[in-house]
Amino acid sequence: MIPQTELHSADWQSELRAAETDGTALLARLNLTPRQMGFSAVAAREFSVLVPLPYLQRITPGDPNDPLLRQVLATSEETLVKPGYSDDPVGETGDTIRHPGIIQKYHGRVLLILASGCAINCRYCFRRHFPYEDNRQSRREWLQALDAIAADTSITEVILSGGDPLLVSDQRLTELIQAIADIGHVKRLRVHTRLPVVIPSRVTPGLVSALTATRLRSVLVIHSNHARELDEEVGAAMRRLRAAGVDLLNQSVLLKGVNDRASTLAALSEQLFAIGVMPYYLHLLDKVRGASHFDVSEQAGKALIAAVSALLPGYLVPKLVREEAGQPAKSAIAPLATETADRC
């Protein structure tokens, strides 16, 4: 189902509304069959299929191993019960929710949940079971949330998240960002989004203006896992943001069958830099129920990042990290020695 939320222009809205939501139809478009791909209607009922057309068009028809398709197709692997996998793998419920819609796990930063939907449903999403219904906010509650941020002078950065925060209209984003900028002790605004990657037309003049019209230093963190996600339209969108003064970073998740080769990760970093985005984090998989088939071991991740380090200058090598519930920061993971990494 297309998320019912406040949308902006007919252009990117129409692309979102045209997203494929039927797994069988998705595979038919790609000349593949449900049986061939292990499609699971049960998995799709628990976490729906949602693939916008700009992203779908980057998937190679007839290729059952396409790394982009693997990220979005519900398969029977999601129904496997694996020890150690849970609905809340990074501890985002309970005491970390300071106020409906506000999550604080780390000192000096708070995360605002702006939207409960995304433009694409990634099968490995660590928030696929997040209780969004309990964190919806009315306008009055938004004002209360901002009051809570204003009352805590230790908060220097506000992070907009979701779902995908860019499902919110440019007008509402402009109003919210200005209200955040009016809180004197907040220095930075960070936006975590996959929307410009999957529907690059979302980078409208209004969005660029919303991110750059205040005194806040704006950082946009996109989420791309493979170089083929970054086509010419995505590149043009990123260059518009960068030219306007928005700092651009990328976070990836290390995923089996998607990007678990050093050459693939190196190609992603090269393509990101070519469009003005700096590689930032490479996350080991958050152990969310339904995603165990994507897991790459920590040892393999160490070897991979060491191998990438041998291929690229240091500034293009993302930091390998794991997020652990209750920890004061993400846990950085050191690469293996070079001689071990050479085997990757």
CA dist 265 and 225 (Å) reads 8
CA dist 293 and 71 (Å) reads 11
CB of 23 closer than 8 Å to CB of 73 = yes
Q: Which residues are annotated as a binding site for [4Fe-4S] cluster?
A: 118, 122, 125
Cα dihedral 171→176→182→188 (10° resolution): -110
Q: Which of 204, 224, 151, 209 is nearest to 178 (CA)?
A: 209
Q: Which residues are annotated as a binding site?
A: 118, 122, 125
CA dist 185 and 175 (Å) reads 18
CB of 160 closer than 8 Å to CB of 115 = no
The two structure tokens encoding residue 332: 């950085």
Q: Which of 147, 111, 109, 146 is nearest to 127 (CA)?
A: 111
